Structure 1
Amino acid sequence: MNALQYKGYVGTFEFEPDDDAFHGEIAGIRDVIHFTGRSVDELRQEFQEAVEDYLSTCAEIGKSPEKPYSGRFMVRVSPEIHRLSEAAAKATGKSLNTFAAEALERAAKETIHS
């Protein structure tokens, strides 16, 4: 996944060869906010401007901007993965929540920063 981060917001994007441009969207909020750029630098600038525009528009209309993510979500896994994860968490002296959060953080950082 291609992603940018700014002020806690994440923008995901793809290159569209037919347009010879990158097209992106701010992820994790209900409002649909797109941004486009012909280069990575232009895309980053457009993403940051989209976030700033969103925040200023919210302020102008008296709306609280959505936070990109609440920090809570439910994950469904097979009973076997649940059992193995619980055992691994106990073996490391951690709660299942802490164990899972650390694993997700490592995987997310590897994916976004690769």
Structure 2
Amino acid sequence: MTLMSLDGYQARITYNPESDQFRGEILGQSGGAEFYGSNPDELRREFKQSLEVYLEVCRERGIAPRKQFSGKFNLRIPPDLHEQLSLEAEAQGKSLNVLAKEALQKSLS
């Protein structure tokens, strides 16, 4: 996966060999916005234009452009892994939440 950034927004870039074009999908939005280009310069221009249109539509409709996150989510794991992680957190003197948060933060670096 390739990411492209513009004005604090990120887009996932994929290549479609059938159309011989790159497709960008802006991430973390309340709605969807995508764009296409044949080369990096065209892709950047289309990203900028697509983002401008998306933000304008959000303003017109009174919609927050970015998804709102609560900081909570459910994670489904096998019971034996849950047990092992709970024991490891306890051994380290941490809560399971702190252990998971640290592991998730580490995965981003």
TM above 0.5: yes
CA radius of gyration, larger in: 2
Amino acid corresponding to residue 58 of structure 1 in structure 2: C
**Contact in 2 for aligned 1:23/1:37 (Cα 8 Å):** yes
Secondary structure of 2:24's aligned partner = strand
Could you list the per-position Cα deviations for residues 32-67 of structure 1 after superposition, in whole angstroms to 9, with x for gaps in the alignment? Answer: 211112233443443344333322221123223242
* Structure 2 CA distance for partners of 1:91 and 1:50, relative to 1, 3 Å: farther
**Bigger relative contact order (CA 8 A; separation at least 6):** 1
Partner of 1:106: 106
Q: CA RMSD in A?
A: 2.7
- Verify: 1:23 aligned to 2:26, yes or no: no
Amino acid corresponding to residue 34 of structure 2 in structure 1: H
| 1:64-83 equivalence runs, <5 A | 64-67=64-67, 69-83=69-83
**2: CA distance between counterparts of 1:8 and 1:29?**
12
**Contact in 2 for aligned 1:8/1:68 (Cα 8 Å):** no
- Verify: 1:32 aligned to 2:57, yes or no: no
Q: TM-score, normalised by structure 2?
A: 0.72
Structure 1 residue runs without a partner (length 5+) = none
**Contact in 1 for aligned 2:29/2:65 (Cα 8 Å):** no
